[in-house]
Chain A
Amino acid sequence: MALLAIFAELEAAVADGIVERYAVGGAVGATFYIEPAATQHVDVFVVFDQAASRLVSLAPIYDYFTKRGAVVQNEHLVIAEWPVQFLPAATPLVDDALVHAVRMTVDGQAVAVLSQEHLAAIALETGRMKDKIRLSQFLASGTFERLRFDSLTERFGLTEKWARFVALMEDQT
C-alpha cells in the first residue's frame, strides 16, 4: 500500500531529526476514524526546529525528501505516487493537535495521526462544505469524545462557529 510507504518516510524524517513531530490530518487522517472520502493528496502537519529563524521554511523537509526520491509538484511533494502537503503548525489549535497526536500502527507500520476531536475542531475552524460533512461524520462515529471536543472549541475560540454549525444541522433535519 502506497500510504504505508509515506508513513514510513514520515517516521524516517523524525528519526533523522528533520521534523520534531508530525501527524497525518485531512481526509487521510479522518479515514482512521470515519468512512473513507476520496482525496487526491495527503495533509501532514509538522513541527520542526525554528530556533534558527523566525520564518517558517519547509526547505529542509523538501531537501530531505527529494534526496530520498520525492518529486516537487507545485505545493506538494510526491511520495510513493501521492502528493503530500506539509503544513507547519500555523495556529494554536493545530499546535495543540500535534502535541496530542495519536500513535497508531497499520499493517506493522507506525504512524502519527491527529486525534479525531482535533480533526473535528480543525474542520470546524476551516469551515468548507467538505469540512462540515466530515465534522457531522465525526459526531456520528460512536467513538467521538464530545466532552474533549467541547473543551477544544472553548479553548480555541470556536464556540460561535460551533453554534452556527449546530444551527445549520438543525435546519437540515
Chain B
Amino acid sequence: MKFSMDEALRMKRASRVAMTATPIAEKLRILERLRERDRAIRRAVIALDQRPTRDASA
C-alpha cells in the first residue's frame, strides 16, 4: 500500500469543502454531538482521577 501525501491532502480538502457546504442545521447538530462527546471524555477522565489509589504502605 502506497501513501501519497498529495492524495491525503486532496481528500482532506474535499472533505472540508463538503462539510462547509453541509446545511447549517446539520452542522449545528454535529457541533452539539462534538460537545457531548467532549463532555463524556472529560467525565471519564475525572472519574479516573478520582479513583481511590492503592496505599503502597498497606
Q: Give residues in A with beta carbon < 8 Å to B.
A: 1-4, 27-28, 31-40, 82, 104, 106-107, 137, 140-142
Please encode chain B, from 20 to 58, with 1 for each CB lying within 8 Å of some chain A CB and 0 for all others.
Answer: 100011011111101101110000000000000000000
CA distance A2 to B13 in the complex (A): 30
The size bracket of the interface on B is 10 to 19
Known contacts A36-B28, A38-B31; 18 further A-B pairs (Cβ under 8 A): A1-B28, A1-B29, A1-B32, A3-B28, A31-B28, A35-B19, A35-B20, A36-B27, A36-B30, A36-B31, A37-B34, A38-B34, A38-B38, A39-B31, A39-B34, A40-B35, A106-B25, A142-B20
A32, B17: Cβ atoms under 8 Å? no
CB A84 to nearest CB in B, in angstroms, measures 13
